[in-house]
Amino acid sequence: MVKHISKQESEIISTRREFLKQFGFGAAAAGMATPLLDNAYSAPEQKATGRRVKYRVLGKTGLRVSEIGIGGHSWAYKQVPDGQEGFRRPTVNEAVRMIAASMDMGVNFLDSCTALEESSVPGEALKRLKARDKVIVSIRVSHKMKGVKADKQEIYKWTEDRLKLWQTDYVDMCLLCNTENDTPQSGYWDMSYSIEALDKLKQQGKIRFTGFGCHFRPELFLEAFDKFGDYFDICSIPYNVRHRAAEKLLPAAKKKGLGVITIKPFVRGALLKDRDLKGTEAGLPRDLIAFVLENKLVDICTCGVHTIEQVRENLSASWTKLSEVRRQRLKKLAATFIGDREYAWLEQGWLYA
Ligand SMILES: NC(=O)c1ccc[n+]([C@@H]2O[C@H](COP(=O)([O-])OP(=O)(O)OC[C@H]3O[C@@H](n4cnc5c(N)ncnc54)[C@H](OP(=O)(O)O)[C@@H]3O)[C@@H](O)[C@H]2O)c1
């Protein structure tokens, strides 16, 4: 039987082939015995909505990516009601169903952040779905750009650990991440040794593209675009209806050809806290993502999810056009003060465009 390969799949396949060819994996590059053409995953539980997310081009990587990505983080948080008045993490079986449903709706971008327990979940899910080569995998290496020689060994180790957890021999993207408190001694952005390490990992065929994204002030992003924008392929920036400073930064990122991945559409749920999402405020998460996607300089909006209902709701943002009433609802939401100390950095530097 002839298998039909979607345009999205064929582009991932061809970029993967080029990558393999470049690094001399001959048989695989020729398409022999690779799982690339094996349409092995299926999501029987996915409601057949027939709707699929749209795609954008991720800056100079040239990759065609789903405009909504599924983030990490949430795999590690105990946020799923456990039926005994407590909470638990999503199980791997649940992750399999969520990732399969996302892929059925066109998602081809999976992110993971820092925690080891988080990174093990999507890797195991992809293995069970036999779908590693059908998605773009992005890892984030945290606190490893201090401008000291030891950065290199830390980045190698961090990457090797994540390759094991993702059960893969390469990742598509590796993003360097810091918080502002990590590196004042090096003027915040001394990436010299980190770049050396990334170059070596690229030569070894372990990573394809590189990027950066941090809990930093917007001005420091501008500085980084200037100093390092020619080297990196991608940047990752917080952006939501309340924290809109990204609007000032995106033109500068695009000038350097950087792909833009935005994070924090819900400030990790803080913008949704205490809202009646099943009642009058139903559809708010979808609208929050639709707001981010209205900005055509954004390439991917990445969100964390805990349940399959959240997956369906969030992905529907791709075909949601905001009405005036919904826009007014978002405007009201944007006035919500976020008191959680964890997000003080967002409240201080990122409030307005
Ligand atoms: N250092 C870095 O570079 C960095 C930092 C942050 C994030 N990231 C990346 O960005 C991804 C997104 O994380 P984020 O911090 O930006 O979080 P976010 O996407 O703003 O919020 C995710 C949380 O919102 C809630 N949520 C999601 N969809 C929902 C829905 N439909 N209805 C109700 N609640 C919903 C869930 O929490 P509940 O289930 O608890 O409600 C979920 O855990 C991360 O997973 C990670 O990959 C990277």
**Which atom in ligand 1 lies closest to the alpha carbon of residue 215?**
1
* Residue percentage of the chain with pLDDT more than 70: 84
**DSSP letter for each residue of 2-14:** PPP--HHHHHHHH
The Cα-based distances of 102 to 51, 53, 72, 135 in angstroms read 11, 9, 14, 11
Pocket test of ligand 1: the residue of 89, 303, 311, 320 to mutate, having most ligand atoms within 8 Å of its CB, is: 303
Where are the chain's structural domains?
40-349
Q: Which residues line ligand 1 (CB under 6 A)?
A: 71-74, 79, 111-113, 140, 177, 213, 236, 263-269, 272, 277, 285, 302-306, 310, 313-314
Give the confidence band of 127 by pLDDT, cuts at 50, 70, 90. very high
Pocket test of ligand 1: the residue of 89, 263, 281, 340 to mutate, having most ligand atoms within 8 Å of its CB, is: 263
**How many other CB atoms are found less than 10 A from the CB of residue 325?**
7
**pLDDT, greater one: 351 or 22:** 351
Query: Any idea which residue has 């100093």 for tokens?
Result: 227
Q: Specify the residue with its C-alpha closest to ligand 1, atom 25.
A: 269
Q: Distance of alpha carbon 103 from its chain centroid, rounded?
A: 14
Q: Specify the residue with its C-alpha closest to ligand 1, atom 24.
A: 269
How many angstroms separate the alpha carbon of residue 70 from the centre of ligand 1?
9
Lowest mean pLDDT among 171-185, 215-229, 252-266: 171-185
How many angstroms separate the alpha carbon of residue 125 from the centre of ligand 1?
19
* Residue percentage of the chain with pLDDT more than 90: 63
pLDDT score at 274: 87
How many angstroms separate the alpha carbon of residue 41 from the centre of ligand 1?
25
How many angstroms separate the alpha carbon of residue 30 from the centre of ligand 1?
38
Per-residue pLDDT of 262-293, as tens digits, reads: 999 999 999 998 899 999 899 999 999 999 99
**Which atom in ligand 1 lies closest to the alpha carbon of residue 264?**
16
3-class SS of residue 213: coil
**Which atom in ligand 1 lies closest to the alpha carbon of residue 310?**
31
Confirm if 149 and 193 have CB atoms less than 8 A apart.
Answer: yes
How many angstroms separate the alpha carbon of residue 19 from the centre of ligand 1?
31
How many angstroms separate the alpha carbon of residue 60 from the centre of ligand 1?
26
Confirm if 89 and 116 have CB atoms less than 8 A apart.
Answer: no
pLDDT score at 77: 86
Residue 47 phi, psi (nearest 5): -65, 135
Q: Distance of alpha carbon 291 from its chain centroid, rounded?
A: 17
How many angstroms separate the alpha carbon of residue 233 from the centre of ligand 1?
23
**Range 206-232 average pLDDT:** 92
Q: How many residues in the chain?
A: 353
**pLDDT, greater one: 102 or 40:** 102
Distance from C-alpha of 70 to C-alpha of 76, rounded to nearest angstrom: 14
Per-residue pLDDT of 9-54, as tens digits, reads: 545 544 444 444 433 333 333 332 222 223 333 443 445 567 999 9
Q: Specify the residue with its C-alpha closest to ligand 1, atom 18.
A: 268
**Which atom in ligand 1 lies closest to the alpha carbon of residue 213?**
3
Average pLDDT of the residues of the chain: 85
How many angstroms separate the alpha carbon of residue 249 from the centre of ligand 1?
22
Confirm if 26 and 151 have CB atoms less than 8 A apart.
Answer: no
How many angstroms separate the alpha carbon of residue 26 from the centre of ligand 1?
39
Confirm if 78 and 20 have CB atoms less than 8 A apart.
Answer: no
pLDDT score at 134: 96
* The CATH classification of domain 40-349, taken from the options 1.10.274.10, 3.20.20.100, 3.40.50.620, 3.40.710.10: 3.20.20.100
**Range 121-142 average pLDDT:** 95
How many angstroms separate the alpha carbon of residue 266 from the centre of ligand 1?
6
Confirm if 299 and 58 have CB atoms less than 8 A apart.
Answer: yes
